[in-house]
Structures are given as C-alpha cells and as structure tokens.
Amino acid sequence: MDTRDRILDLAAGAKKAAGEMRSVDTARKNAALSMIAEALEADAAAIAAANAEDVAEAGKNGLAPAMVDRLTLTPSRFKSMVDGVRHVANLPDPTGETIWRREMPSGIAIEKRREPFGVVAVVFESRPNVLVDTAALCLKTGNAIILRGGKEAIRSNVALAKSVRRALASVGLPENAVSLVDFPGHEAVTELVRAVGLVDVAIPRGGERLIRAMCEAALVPVLKHYKGVCHIYVDDKADLEMALSILDNAKVQRPSACNAAECLLVHKGIADAFLPKVEEWAKRRGVTLHDDGAGVEYLSLDLNVATVSGCREAIEYVNRNGSHHSDAIVTADAERAAEFLRDVDSACVYHNASTRFTDGAEFGMGAEIGISTDKLHARGPMGLEELTTYKYVVRGDGACRN
C-alpha cells in the first residue's frame, strides 16, 4: 500500500474504534487507564532503553539541544507521565454531561450535552510523553486517537504504544482506540489531516514550522498555537525580589518549553534599580540578554529585555510582539493588574505568577493534549472538556412546530 492507503486504513480502524468507545462507561475507561499505568511501569526498562537509543541517535545527528531535552524521558518525567495517567482516571468524565437544559413553550425539552469528537489526530515532535498524555485524555473522553511522532523518537513511541495497546486489549477495549503512525515521510501527516470523514480534529504539538505546514495542508479542523513568545512585565509598583524569583522560574526552570518567558519588560521608573539585578542574575544563571529580540521564541537561555513607560505601553508591546500564549504582570497595584489581565489578548494572563503554570496538569486538568491560542472551541491548555464537542438532544410528546 502507498502512504495514502496506509493512513486511510489506519484512520478507518480508528473510526471503528471511536464508535465502540462511545458506549464504554466511565468505570471501564478508568479501568483501562489504570491498566495502562501498570503496563508502562512493567515495561519501564524496555521503554528507557528505547528512549536511550533515540537520544543517542539524536546526539549523533546534531539535533538542537532544546529538542534533545524534549526527547529525553528522564526517570522523573517517566514517573510524572504515569502519575498523569492515574490522575486522569480520577478526574470527572465530561462525556454525557448536560451543559444546560431548557423546556420550551412549544412542548420540547432541549439538552445541550457533551460528547466525544470521534477520532483525534495528534502530530508531535520529540516529546514521547505526549503519546501517553494525549492517549489518556482521549480514552477518558471516549475518543480514538491516531498519533504521529517525529522520527527522532520512533523507538520510544513504538515502545510506549505497544504498552498502551496491550493494556487496552487486556480490558476488552479496541486496540485501535490508540494507533501510531510508525512509518516515515511527511506525506503521512498530509494524508492524516486530509482524511475528511475519518479524522474529526487534528492537534499539532511541535515547532512553528510543523504547525504551519499542517494548517496549510489540512482539510480537517486544527487546534494549535504557533509559538510561545511569553512576557514578564515588571511594574514600578512591583516587589523586585518577587519579580526576580518569578523571572527565574519562567526563564530557567525549563527554557525549551512553550510557556517559558522570552521577553522581560521593565517599567522605566525602576530600570536603574532592577536591571543591574537582572544582569547579575543572568550572569549567575547563564542567561544571555538581548535588546533586539522582540517577538523571538528562543527556547533557550536567551531573554529579550526592553523598558516601557508604564502598564499601557507594556500591554501594547505584548499584544504587538507576543504570540497570545501566556503573559504576566508583577505589581502590587491591583488596578494596573486588572488592566493588564483585561487588555492583554492572550490565552493565559498572570498576576504575580510565573508563565510556567500554563499546563494542563497545573490547571487541574490532568495531562494536556495541547495549548491553543485560537479563539474558537478551545483556548489555553486543553484537557478533558476541550476534547468534547456537544450535541442538542431534543425530546417531545408529539410536538410539532407552528
């Protein structure tokens, strides 16, 4: 079979599995998630060995350090991944939930009810934990998922998918509820996002180039963010030690993440007092400061720094140069904070907190399937509710419209 036929065959299997998953109750879905966590733990050594091979190969091929970091499944990341599956099992199941109900004078009763999308295609780069995180969320919401990872993580992804699919079979659920595209070629992604009638929604997890290529090729809906150009604005009413602590966390904790700070904005009124502290911090932490990187997503220990005249100019700067992802203000002035939170046009806005909290787990969603900067259907971290659509269920007793 050629690439198109292979993808359509895979998608048809996922579509059939999605139909079966609609009738699976919450208890069985939770049992499947528990078995997945146990299977991953049982296969931990094999998964670690596969990941080590991928990391070694990535090093030989000169993969960027940020990508190697994302690829590496450390013991702590493996544990967090497994814990995330168990956490999803313990979360409320949104499928079947009634969003609202109305009884109309015409004699009909209307319910707006959550239901699964059907087949979700996730295309991702480097991070093998994405396979497990997204599979857990899709299974909990009664969806089937088709996963396509990058070639740099193929061994890791195959090992993880094997564990997940074995766990599904052990509890009598369709293995094709989780499918992996395990063959190379960009054509596979193109065919996946053009599989109208088989794939219901696509979600990219990767760099801007991947996301734009998917959007340009897609005939199915795509939920995405292009990049994470996140800002920290330090107001002249800020506690400077708090500001430095937040900046350190937002920039240094994991600079390769899309929610890491890429730009620091400083009120001119405190620049003389605060910027020397920033320079000292940067030298100590190995951060390179720039003054000409507006709108740049570094994904490394690099930080753009600019001064602004006040909160209003900071808001305008963020809206002009940011990516509408995650942006923060540090200030003790409640009115300025409220202005920033209201007027910055981003999916997540923060007051006196690090942008690194933009994450499904940190938002109490369990694992996340992605982060969206779109304004239709989903925005910000996407968890269980964002993996459902809705239908209107209408009941009557012989009701006819006049």
Q: Which domains does the chain have, with CATH numbers?
A: 3-224+374-395 (3.40.605.10), 230-357 (3.40.309.10)
Distance separating alpha carbons of residues 394 and 108, to the nearest angstrom: 7
Question: What stretch of H or E contains 284?
Answer: helix 271-285
Dist. CA 41–CA 38, nearest whole Å: 5
Q: What whole-number distance in Å separates Cα of residue 358 and Cα of residue 175? A: 32
What pLDDT sits at residue 52?
A: 97
Per-residue model confidence as pLDDT tens digits over 325-344: 999 999 999 999 999 999 99
399 pLDDT band (50/70/90 cuts)?
very high
End-to-end CA distance of the chain: 55
Q: Specify burial of residue 301 (Cβ count, 10 A radius: 0-12, 13-18, 19+).
A: middle
pLDDT surpassing 80 at residue 366: no
373, burial (CB in 10 Å: exposed 0-12, middle 13-18, buried 19+): buried
What separation in angstroms does the CA of 299 have from each of 89, 254, 388, 399? 32, 9, 31, 59
The amino acid at residue 7 is: I
CB-based contacts of 13: which residues, under 8 Å, 6+ apart?
A: 176, 179
pLDDT tens-place string over residues 217-255: 999 999 998 899 999 999 999 999 999 999 999 999 999
Average pLDDT over residues 144-171: 97
Does the pTM exceed 0.75?
yes
Query: Residue 361 — very low, low, confident or very high, per pLDDT cuts 50/70/90?
Result: confident
**Average of per-residue pLDDT values in the chain:** 95
pLDDT tens, residue by residue, 74-103: 999 999 999 999 999 999 999 999 999 999
Percent of the chain with pLDDT over 70: 100
